[in-house]
Structure 1
Amino acid sequence: MQKLSGAGVFEHADPNNYVEQLRTSSLSVGTYSIPAGGVDDQAPHHEEEIYVVTTGRATFVTPDGAEPVGPGDVLFVAAEEEHRFTDVTEDLALLVFFAPPYSGR
């Protein structure tokens, strides 16, 4: 058993911050923070992702459309799918689960 203290807690960074809290052979877990008014400039990943919104509000945009998101929302993103957070109105903190582990391109 491993406890991930501080996972999902907003960490202010300019402009964004990703901190990995766990890596195994099959997945990785980290916290992605985007400040209010920030721009999410990420590119598609080779890994599948699950985002859990722990704090903040934004709009999540994919080729299929846009959805407002807030605390408690869970989002699945297939590998290679274009996606980003826009209209970040409150400091946004997301638990991010990657499978396989995030490669960082």
Structure 2
Amino acid sequence: MQVLQDAGAFTVPDGAPIHYREHLRVLDLSLGTYCIPVDGKDGQLPHTEDEVYVVVRGRGRLLADSGDTAVGPGSVVFVPAGEAHRFTDVTEDLAVLVVFGPAEHTRA
């Protein structure tokens, strides 16, 4: 067992538009916290791994090729590998747990 104490905490270094911190990496998955401050710009590209987003705090929208949805604390969204997506309209500092399966950047 491993306790991930800082997982889900909102942290953005001074001057950074967004911040991602990985907390766990094993062969079949990785987990990190993705933070976007109010009015932050999410420029992520599609990933080669499936993702599950769990919103811990904040509010915004998640736009994807397959649709868009408002997100807030407790929202859980699955994005399949290869689907373009990004967070927009962040109205409250957003902290999102991100689970990649398999671990991020492990598929070609």
Query: Alpha-carbon deviation of 1:66?
Result: 1.5
Alignment partners' CA distance in 2, 1:46 and 1:12? 25
Q: In structure 2, give the amino acid aligned to 1:6.
A: D
Question: Mind listing any 5+ residue stretches in structure 2 that lack a counterpart?
Answer: none
Question: Mind listing any 5+ residue stretches in structure 1 that lack a counterpart?
Answer: none
Aligned residues: 105
Query: Alpha-carbon deviation of 1:64?
Result: 2.1
> Paired residue for 2:68?
66
Query: Alpha-carbon deviation of 1:52?
Result: 0.2
Q: In structure 1, give the amino acid aligned to 2:27.
A: S
Alignment partners' CA distance in 1, 2:81 and 2:65? 13
> Paired residue for 1:6?
6
Alignment partners' CA distance in 1, 2:86 and 2:92? 16
> Paired residue for 1:46?
48
- Which structure 1 residue ranges, 4+ long, deviate > 6 Å from structure 2? none
Q: In structure 1, give the amino acid aligned to 2:63.
A: V
Alignment partners' CA distance in 1, 2:30 and 2:66? 26
Alignment partners' CA distance in 2, 1:83 and 1:101? 18
Q: In structure 2, give the amino acid aligned to 1:36.
A: V
The two structures have a TM-score, normalised by structure 2, of: 0.93
Residue 75 (structure 1) aligned with residue 77 (structure 2): yes
Cα offsets for 1:56-91 (capped at 9, x unmatched): 000110122221100000000000001000000010
The two structures have a TM-score, normalised by structure 1, of: 0.96
Alignment partners' CA distance in 2, 1:37 and 1:49? 23
Identity of aligned residues (%): 52
Alignment partners' CA distance in 2, 1:28 and 1:50? 11
